[in-house]
């Protein structure tokens, strides 16, 4: 019976990674904070082996840093890191959006539209964790519709570093509403197969995200942030 009920190691590792990533992205563990393996094992109700595998995975994504003599800590970005990384992701998402508008199928568009409606429902409830999860799926679907594996892989790598900051960019009600309107427009442009329009909108969307994050940093609202590099 124990063998039947046991969870395969790879499945458990993936589940722990998802849950730990969620806690970091949603700010339950602050940037710069050390990951306490004993406390996390107890909280997640797993042994340290799958937890350590999850930490290694998140380190590969850029959400966690493995530091000599300190162990694993939640990654934190300086202002210049944020500026540089958003500059790259804006270019990648803009290109993906342009390609997706040309290459997207009716089925893919219908799936994105359905996710968009789910996201709007989460926004109406002001359920930010659910909103962000669905929002991330939409951006992932747009990248998939671009049908460029190198572009999607590069985007995934860079975007992983920004997940926690993209989540926090919606803390301001006005900026959150603006982001929702921009997503309304994305669906329209995809349906119209307007590639240049999608590129321009996604570039603007990411600039707005960057500015929202920088405002939070400069106001000291991101716990554990590093000071801007000289």
Q: What pLDDT, in 10s, does the model give residues 168-199?
A: 899 899 999 999 999 999 999 999 999 999 99
Domains and CATH numbers, the chain: 2-74 (1.10.10.10), 79-218 (1.20.120.530)
Q: Please report the pLDDT score of residue 147 as a whole number.
A: 98
DSSP line for 79-123: HHHHHHHHHHHHHHHHHHHHHHHHH--HHHHHHHHHHHHHHHHHH
- pLDDT, tens digit, for every residue of 41-84? 999 999 989 999 999 999 988 889 999 888 999 988 899 999 99
- Please state, for a pLDDT cut of 70, what percent of the chain lies above it: 92
pLDDT of 230 over the 50 cut: no
Please identify which residue in the block is written with the tokens 């900051």: 165
pTM of this structure: 0.81
**Of residues 122, 158, 152, the one with CA closest to residue 140:** 152
């Amino acid at each position: 019976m124990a063998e039947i009920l046991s969870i395969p190691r790879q499945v458990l590792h993936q589940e722990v990674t998802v849950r730990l990533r969620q806690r970091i992205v949603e700010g339950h563990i602050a940037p710069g904070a050390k990951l306490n393996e004993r406390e996390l094992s107890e909280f997640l109700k797993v042994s340290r082996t799958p937890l350590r595998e999850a930490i290694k995975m998140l380190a590969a994504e850029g959400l966690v840093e493995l530091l000599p003599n300190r162990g694993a800590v939640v990654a934190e970005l300086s202002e210049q890191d944020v500026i540089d990384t958003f500059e790259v992701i804006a270019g990648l998402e803009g290109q993906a959006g342009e390609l997706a508008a040309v290459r997207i199928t009716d089925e893919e568009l219908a799936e994105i539209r359905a996710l968009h409606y789910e996201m709007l429902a989460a926004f109406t409830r002001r359920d930010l964790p659910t909103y962000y999860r669905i929002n991330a799926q939409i951006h992932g679907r747009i990248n998939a519709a671009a049908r460029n594996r190198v572009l999607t892989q590069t985007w995934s790598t860079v975007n992983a570093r920004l997940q926690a900051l993209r989540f926090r960019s919606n803390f301001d009600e006005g900026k959150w509403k603006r982001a929702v309107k921009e997503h309304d427009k994305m669906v329209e442009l995809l349906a119209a197969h307007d590639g240049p329009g999608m590129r321009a909108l996604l570039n603007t969307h990411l600039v707005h995200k960057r500015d929202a994050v920088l405002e939070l940093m400069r106001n000291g609202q991101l716990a554990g942030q590093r000071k801007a590099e000289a």
